[in-house]
Amino acid sequence: MSKLWGGRFTKPTNQLVEEYTASILFDKELAEEDVQGSLAHVAMLGKCGIIPEEDAATIANGLRSVLTRIRAGELAFHVGDEDIHMNIEKALIAEVGPVGGKLHTGRSRNDQVATDMHLYLRKRTVELTGLLLKLQEALLGQAEANLDTILPGYTHLQRAQPILLAHHLLAYVSMLERDISRFKDSYKRVNVLPLGAGALAGTTFPIDRHFVASELGFDGVYENSLDAVSDRDFIVEFLANASLVMAHLSRLSEELVLWSSTEFGFIELDDAFCTGSSIMPQKKNPDVPELVRGKTGRVYGNLVGLLTVLKSLPLAYNKDMQEDKEGMFDTVRTLEGALQLFAPMIDTMKVRKERMRQAVNQDFSNATDIADYLVTKGLPFRQAHEVIGRLVLYGIQHDKFLLDLTLEEFRSFSELFDKDIYTVLEPEHVVNARNVYGGTARVQVEAALTRAKKTASVTAEWIAAHEG
């Protein structure tokens, strides 16, 4: 069969050109969305009397048959047919005869492909939000189980102040909540219909764009036909959102890799999420977080790649825009794979509480509290800071931690010290002293956990309302 657009041409397309310009090898992933959009379009053509209703019914039945073949893996796609739209249209014509050629009335591949991608990303946005929620729930579960687990908090990867492990994990819950919020907000810009814009200027047929939007569950239609076929902001926004998710997963991955090392020994990842060495039998490697950390770069690359494609394009559609899909598909697969693994990996992670407590007991991370202690006794903070700096140096030189010092040793640095200093220095006291909103005190962490659960419940409701 000749090209569906071939009437104007006197020569066949060079085979190398066909292979170079064809997108079917990757845009076949849009097959279901393409049929979904076509079903709504042909329903509108029949309703508006643009084609006879019996023809619309025939085409709709043919599209459903083609969709069944697609889902069964029985429909062969051909490079010579260029893209998913023309492959499906040829399959339709083969199914129902020449009447299938009426399907394309009142539309262009330009607004058709844009519609397919809106449908695709709308579904994936909800699915990925659901996976983010599952990871949040896994972190919340570990946080609730570790409300009394204390570990060193770090700045510059140096021990800073003791914190609750639950507080640390809830920081990632907060990061993921921002990710969820961005996906939910971007959904509003994904859920807009471009179909009906034609190639760039609309169509001469009396179509009903709002009917199609309603059939497909879109909240509205693009106001401007040029913008409708040119806009890829919604994909850029998705890639940017995904990049931030991967940044957060990469940061968590780095901590899991560090914490599972012998040097830290704070956690142990389940065997199901680790691999071994072909030469060193003792090895247990945290390959999942390492690979997630590595794959972050490819998601960043997909974002930068699309921004670069779009930066100098004139209105409306240009062949350059074919490059909008592979990075989008790759990002969806990469992010989906990472999130599917991360939730059960966190859920099954073993926390080595004793090792964390040992680390807290063998450092100077309670030094700030001694400075605050002296401040409450009337010493200006800057002077207290200097006193404690010299006290810490003394401890280092004498191989003693602060709780190991005698009261006499404390008083040799300041007469303001009294025996209550030992209570102040206890890790539980250090943690619970930070009883401010958002702080690491147990009462504050419990309240934060309750708030996070309520927010997760709202997210679950949003997902349920937007699935399908």
- The residues that are catalytic are 156, 277
Report the candidate in 382, 390, 439 with the shortest Cα–Cα distance to residue 412.
390
Report the alpha-carbon distance of residue 41 to residue 46 in Å, rounded: 9
What residues are paired with 151 via a beta bridge? Answer: 163
C-beta of residue 436 within 8 angstroms of C-beta of residue 444 = yes
Tell me how far CA of residue 311 lies from CA of 25, 121, 461, in angstroms.
25, 22, 38
Which two three-digit tokens encode residue 354? 């004793």
Long-range contacts, 411-414 (Cβ 8 Å, 24+): 413/387, 414/374, 414/379, 414/387
Which two three-digit tokens encode residue 18? 């066909």
Report the alpha-carbon distance of residue 212 to residue 207 in Å, rounded: 9
* Segments in 146-281 forming alpha helices (H): 165-190, 209-216, 225-230, 233-259
C-beta of residue 370 within 8 angstroms of C-beta of residue 391 = yes
DSSP letters spanning 108-170: -HHHHHHHHHHHHHHHHHHHHHHHHHHHHHHHHHHHHHTTT-EEEEEETTEEEEEEEHHHHHH
C-beta of residue 135 within 8 angstroms of C-beta of residue 346 = yes
C-beta of residue 149 within 8 angstroms of C-beta of residue 169 = no
Three-class SS of residue 22? coil
